[in-house]
Structure 1
Amino acid sequence: MNTPGLPPVRHCIDTLPFENSFASLPPAFYTRLMPTPVPSPYLVCASKSAAALINLDTEQFSTDNFVQTLAGNRTPAGSDPLAAVYSGHQFGVWAGQLGDGRAILLGDVPAPGTSSPGTMELQLKGSGLTPYSRMGDGRAVLRSSIREFLCSEAMAALGIPTSRALCVTGSDMRVMRETPETSAIATRMAPTFVRFGSFEHWFYNGRKEELKILADYVIDRFYPELCDAANPYHALLSEVTRRTAHLIAQWQAVGFMHGVMNTDNMSILGQTIDYGPFGFMEAFDIRHICNHSDPQGRYSYQMQPRIGEWNCYALGQALLPLVGDVETTKDALQVYQPEYERTLSQLLHAKLGLQSVDVDDDGLIDAMFILMQNNHVDFTLFFRRLGDLRIDDPSQDEALRDLFLDRPAFDAWAVQYRTRLRQENRRDAERKAAMHAVNPKYVLRNYLAQVAIEKAQNKDFSEIARLLDVLEKPFDEQPENEKYANLPPDWASQLEVSCSS
């Protein structure tokens, strides 16, 4: 416990005060089991900022005890390892029982400064077989673990709700995917890993008692302000729907694509979880599919908002027995569209440096996206360079214009944009600072992750550390790291990410 006025206590891995609130649920919700050890584990990467959330001493990173514990070779005192059961819709099809097929929850620890309940669960992803592994081997591979680690921390730095990644530990033990690959374990953190599919599991099995137990647990622990609502389950569904809409608007505004928005990958807290074949938009294409395993484009960039709402309706179906009736359930879901539209509008206005809302703004924004689509403009560079535009000096637009093949079309849109900016009478320097504070210069491009992965596969982990350092300050200029903001090289267009990990 921390004493007010004194520096926070820095824990070692063995003194973290573990509890496991999820283990207080009845045994039907999980299976207690230990992680399966791996031979000769080693540290691949670790996040100081994630460690700070739980007051973990970062000097622990260099200790064998830290590595052995978070590789699953030993169990920290006070932890109560378990794998949770859940179900879900995968690519729109009911998949039945799923569950933690390769993730084991150690427990939750205090996380001072985080929102209610002020704790973080620590989960080992890739720590061995569980009763829910189905045809899998319970392991994760190095490449996907590095991608999840980097993106979790990058999203946090962008201010987007997300699970966090404490570290990745590796082992030379091989696992088979398309080819043999090196295994790894990612330690990820979130207040809870309860997901939409956790509720679907009990609904589709006709077990209302367990459904109510889970809903009451989530409300009491994570939404205590809803306890006194006239209908707490209606209030829960409405708030989760609102948070989900808000989250997906943030994804769209930064060009992030999740890739696998199955209901079992949707957090009940409205956080980004379960990073798999994700991607950040580069050459803008509203129909872009970042997941090679999704040929129909269900989870394309343009579909994410609709799928987010679809998933909320799936959650509403699962909660229907508690909410009471169809009309009351539908009422809770009505918050999605206005919340999404309001949030996205606010974010886009900020990205364009607009402080007010004008009746013609939708037309200006629509024209901008059509222009970006027609020219396949790099998403991140466009918004970043737009902040450098000077209202009364189009001659300084060259870096921005160079992103477009059809420069006259850009010039025509820029005239409209400048006209709109003049309505606000805002100085260029002030607007630029505001735009650069919301339009990142650095995002986790696929090719950057790939370079780090290939070096790590040869036991050189230095590029992961360098990339993490860059991504933790995405809005800063960082002139010494300018290369990380460059357009992707030609070979990057051949990269593919899929559900295989």
Structure 2
Amino acid sequence: MRALFLRSMTTMSKTSKVPISGLPLPPSSQIITNNLTPDPNTPSAAGFIKEVLLDKPSIQRRARLLPSQAHFAYVSPLPLPFPYEITAPDPPEVVEDKAAYIEKWLSDREAVISQSIPADTQTTPVLQKYHAKSRDDKRELIGLSETCLRDCIPHLDVGDAFATLGSPALAPEDEEGVDSVPVEGPGAIRQELIDVLSGHSVLMSADSNANNESPGFAPWSVRYSGHQFGSWAGQLGDGRAISVLVTPHPTSPDLTYELQLKGAGRTPFSRSADGLAVLRSSIREYLCSEAMQALSIPTTRSLSLISLPDLPVIRERVETACVFTRVAESFLRIGNFEALSPPSNMFFLGGGQQSADYDALRQLGEWVGRKVLKLENVDWDKGKSWGKELVLDVAKRNAKMVAAWQAYGFMHGVMNTDNISVLGLTIDYGPYAFMDVFDSYHICNHTDEEGRYAYKYQPNMIVYACRALLRALSPLIGAEANLRKAVSPGWAQDVSDEKITEWRNAGTELVKDEMEKILEETCAVEYGRLFRKRLALRRQDKTDQSQIFQPFLDIMETHKLDFHSTFRKLCFFRPSMLSSDSTSNKSQHLDKFISSLFSCSPDQQRLDHTKATEDWLAWLEKYSKRIESERSEWSSDMDTEREAAAKGANPRFILRQWVLEEVIKKVEGDHESGKRILAKVMQMACNPFEPWGAEDEETPITELEAEIKEERRFCGLGEKKMLGFQCSCSS
């Protein structure tokens, strides 16, 4: 497997095209900052680069409410501890204008010094690479995602980055046993990648392109609001996320990917926080994003992890900083709409509430509908209404996402409306967890004291989030229904509050029932499809939920069996084990199979073997008949074909909490060995259905070679004390 991984790395390097500074920008019409409204304090990319960064950089670091019409603010990465420790002049001098001195101190640390980029890698408009005068922080690449590169930005040249990370391995290796990986590209390309993705260097353009169609390019953070644990929280926004680049996919120009740094410093939305991220939380999101992709669950993607070992960050304890790069077509979420059309008559303590701006709402909706969702049922050129279609599309996408969460036992932990993507992507990985011992009421976030986001309630919380989106867009939807076409610029100008309320009520009535029906039906259909896939069933049956799915879950919950390993064990079930003319040998096969199901209990001594056997036999009888009823839909060797299909749907390796905690500890303790372990766990997470640890062999673990032995351990339940382990929101 390791050799396959290295060959894949070699292939990736050969097909890469340009260093990160040469990644092309999409047309101006596909760049979010060229189509939405910036904060008036950072009115353009050119003004941001030439004026803000040089003369008044504090404006982008100062927590403040943006004007109601603003969708985003230009922000440059600056990972520094906060509050900033402004050093005195050296040699000492009297500082008469302290405000100007602070601005100069900050400007010296901003990326304001331009460097030329080779002509053969220049983009249009021409991007310049900027660096700071007085910042030379240590930065170390500790993770790079092969799968994200392959899927999203295959044209990115990463130089010798993979070679510096070493060979993926869980077990310690002797020097002579370490794979020798050839350097596959110049170190300068890798270093530039590290510089840009750590926030040390910034790619920007202060100039328009040749056709004067673009106002330049600079990084940005977006404004959004939201409901947190059911309470309105006012302005939130990208408090530690800065989008630094957007580039089209080389084979699909209409498909663009946004590169966003998480933990790259303060933005206007940071409030009292430092805008930084720690190694622990970054590793969790880095691994899980790609693990979810491998399970075919809609998700944002992870590209890189860069440690800033000399930068302390205070959380529950003092930790070191890390900048994580994530990738998605868009990071916009339901909270972006709520910011522009907040709940009326909402008591809010905290001063983070702006008034509604309905034209900014229209502008955002048109952008999301056209360029993000690409709504097919809307004829934009003819001015057809789009508000209702947008809400229904977002609802359908998120219903599919949460159905996949339920089918694969994933718990998000913080399903606030600002954490729900308009694209239906899993976003903002914090105290997430994959189910261990099945408990439909399990709460993975220990901050969630009331269990609002427990596993069982996740579909309900998607309904809640989509209702919030409808509430935000309902005045526009009501106005469109009245006009029988899309609203135009200034559509709500000088309109009375009574009229807005009338439109809001009409829009809600028009969409609510249909939206909730779509949510319920889409979620049920997708959940059923995925559950049948996991049980290797091909035909849809109306009684599947009541006769097969729910009783199976009930057995796991009643007897406290592990969710994922139970599914995996079922891959090896064959109806012949229950044949009425069972021979002694066949009976032994059944006993052995049921015994394997018992091994999914982390506490077999307390397991009621008699009752569990009765429950399993009753369910397996129904399951066996269900399998036999569709024998004609398989080949003549149904058992072999079904087993292969089941193994391809039920992960052997799952990113359990104990695995994450062990990887984090290893990387924090020693980056060199930790990088190899991190890479191997990423490799396993991206290939979760492989028989890691020689699963199909009955070789005793004591006889396995060290690496295979560790693979088998990493596929296990781990220590009992870690089952159901809860994280905090800061995770």
TM-score (norm 2): 0.65
Name the count of aligned residue pairs: 494
State the Cα deviation string for residues 438-495 of structure 1 (Å, max 9, x = none).
1111121111111110011122322111100111111121324332221222242384
CA deviation vs aligned residue, 1:53-89 (integer Å, no higher than 9, x gap): 2121232535222212111011025551111111000
Structure 2 residue matching 1:107: 3-state secondary structure: strand
Percent identity of the aligned residues?
37
Letter in 2 for 1:242: K
Which residue type is aligned with residue 90 of structure 1? Q
Of 658, 665, 672, the residue aligned with 1:454 is 665
Aligned to 1:70: 197
Structure 1 segments unaligned to the other structure (5+ residues): 1-6
* SS in structure 1 at match of 2:203: coil
Distance 1:112 1:304 in 2: 36
Distance apart, 1:326 and its partner CA: 1.9
Q: 1:208 to 1:477 in 2, by over 3 A?
A: same
Specify the alignment match of 2:379 in structure 1.
Answer: 228
Conservation of the 8 A alpha-carbon contact between 1:117 and 1:191 = no
Pairs within 5 Å for 1:424-439: 424-425=630-631, 426=634, 427-439=638-650
In structure 1, what is the equivalent of residue 298 of structure 2?
Answer: 161
CA distance in 2, matches of 1:374, 1:232: 47
Partner of 2:17: 10
Which of 526, 532, 538 is the equivalent residue of 1:349? 532
Of residues 348-357 and 14-23 in structure 1, the stretch that sits farther from structure 2 once superposed is 14-23
State the alpha-carbon separation in 2 of the partners of residues 279 and 392 from structure 1. 36
| Letter in structure 2 aligned against 1:134 | R
Runs of 4+ in 1 over 4 A off after TM superposition: none
CA contact (8 A) 2:373 2:423 kept: no
* 1:18 and 1:77 in contact (8 A); partners too: no
Query: Residue 119 of structure 1 corresponds to which residue in structure 2?
Result: 256
Q: Match for residue 420 of structure 1? A: 626
State how far apart, in whole Å, the 1-side matches of 2:663 and 2:199 are: 24
Structure 1 position 364 matched with structure 2 position 539:
no
Provide the residue aligned with 1:21 in structure 2.
31
Which among 477, 492, 496 is matched to residue 722 of structure 2?
492
Q: Which runs of 5+ in 2 are unaligned?
A: 1-13, 39-69, 81-136, 165-189, 206-216, 343-354, 479-506, 578-589, 602-606, 695-707
Is the aligned partner of 1:88 residue 2:226? Answer: yes
SS at match of 1:271: coil
d(CA) in 1 for partners of 2:559, 2:520: 29
Matches of 1:113 and 1:429, distance apart in 2: 38
The CA deviation string for residues 9-28 of structure 1, in whole angstroms up to 9 with x for no partner, is 52211111245712111111
Q: Which amino acid aligns with 2:72?
A: Y
1:118 is paired with a residue whose SS is strand
CA shift, 1:255, in A, is: 0.6
Deviation of 1:113 (Å): 5.2
Does the 8 Å CA contact 1:104/1:125 hold for their aligned counterparts? yes
Bigger Cα displacement from structure 2, 451-460 vs 298-307: 451-460
**2:101 maps to what in 1?**
none
Q: Which amino acid in structure 2 is aligned with residue 15 of structure 1? A: G
Letter in 2 for 1:349: R
CA separation in 2, counterparts of 1:476 and 1:34? 42
Contact 2:204/2:219 (8 A) holds in 1: no
How far 1:363 moved relative to its partner? 2.2
403 and 144 in structure 1: CA distance in 2 versus 1, 3 angstrom threshold: same
The match for 2:472 among 311, 318, 323 is: 318
Give the conservation status (yes or no) of the 8 Å contact 1:125–1:186. yes
Give the root-mean-square deviation of aligned CA atoms: 1.8
Q: Secondary structure at the match of 2:227?
A: strand
Please tell me whether Structure 1 or Structure 2 has the larger radius of gyration of its CA atoms.
2
* Alignment partner of 1:271 out of 425, 449, 470: 425
Task: Please report how far the alpha carbon of residue 351 of structure 1 lies from its aligned counterpart in structure 2 after TM superposition.
Answer: 1.4
Measure how far apart 1:8 and its partner are: 5.6
Residue type of the alignment partner of 2:613: R
Q: Do residues 133 (structure 1) and 270 (structure 2) align?
A: yes
- The equivalent of 2:98 in structure 1 is none
Partners of 2:254 and 2:463 in 1: how far apart? 27
1:275-310 residue CA offsets vs partner (Å, 9 max, x unmatched): 111000010000001111111111110010110111
2:317 partner amino acid: T
For residues 405-441 of structure 1, the C-alpha deviation after alignment (integer angstroms, 9 at most, x for no partner) is: 3233222222222122222225211111111111111
Q: Which amino acid aligns with 2:646?
A: M
Superimposed CA distance per residue, residues 107-128 of structure 1 (whole angstroms, 9 cap, x where no aligned partner): 31112456x8411101110010
Match of 1:213 among 363, 374, 392: 363
Partner of 1:181: 319
Using a 3 Å threshold, how does the CA distance of structure 1 residues 93 and 347 change in structure 2: closer, same or farther?
A: same
Say which of 16, 33, 49 aligns to 2:147: 49
- Relative to the length of structure 1, the TM-score reads 0.95
Structure 2: distance between partners of 1:220 and 1:372: 45
Aligned AA for 1:307?
M
Identify the range of structure 1 (411-420 vs 129-138) with the bigger mean alpha-carbon deviation: 411-420
Does the Cα contact within 8 Å between 1:219 and 1:226 map onto a contact in 2?
Answer: no
- Secondary structure of the structure 1 residue equivalent to 2:143: strand
Q: Indicate conservation of the 8 Å contact 1:86/1:201, yes or no.
A: yes
SS in 2 for 1:302: helix
- Structure 2 SS opposite 1:335: helix
1:396 Cα deviation from its structure 2 partner: 4.1
Counterpart-to-counterpart distance in 2, 1:133 and 1:347: 39
Q: CA deviation at 1:101?
A: 0.4
Q: Residue 401 of structure 1: CA displacement?
A: 3.7
1:475 corresponds to: 689
Task: Give secondary structure in 2 for the equivalent of 1:140.
Answer: coil
Residue from 76, 98, 102 that aligns with 2:236 = 98
Partner secondary structure for residue 169 of structure 1 = strand
Moved more, 230-239 or 283-292: 230-239
SS in 2 for 1:293: coil
Residue type matched to 1:391 in 2?
A: P
Cα contact 1:14–1:77 (8 A) shared by 2: no
1:296-311 map, 5 Å: 296-311=450-465
- What secondary structure sits across from 1:58 in the alignment? coil
How far does residue 360 in structure 1 lie from its aligned partner after superposition? 3.2
Q: CA deviation at 1:357?
A: 2.8
The change in CA–CA distance for 1:482 and 1:112 in structure 2 (over 3 A counts) is farther
Alignment of 1:25-36 (within 5 A): 25-27=36-38, 28-36=70-78
Q: Which moved more, 1:479-488 or 1:367-376?
A: 479-488
Which moved further from structure 2: 206-215 or 22-31? 22-31
Cα gap change, 1:359/1:164 in structure 2, threshold over 3 Å: closer, same or farther?
closer
Alpha-carbon distance in structure 2 between the residues aligned to 1:125 and 1:255: 26
SS in 1 for 2:218: coil
Asked if structure 1 preserves the Cα contact closer than 8 Å seen for 2:141 and 2:305, the reply is yes
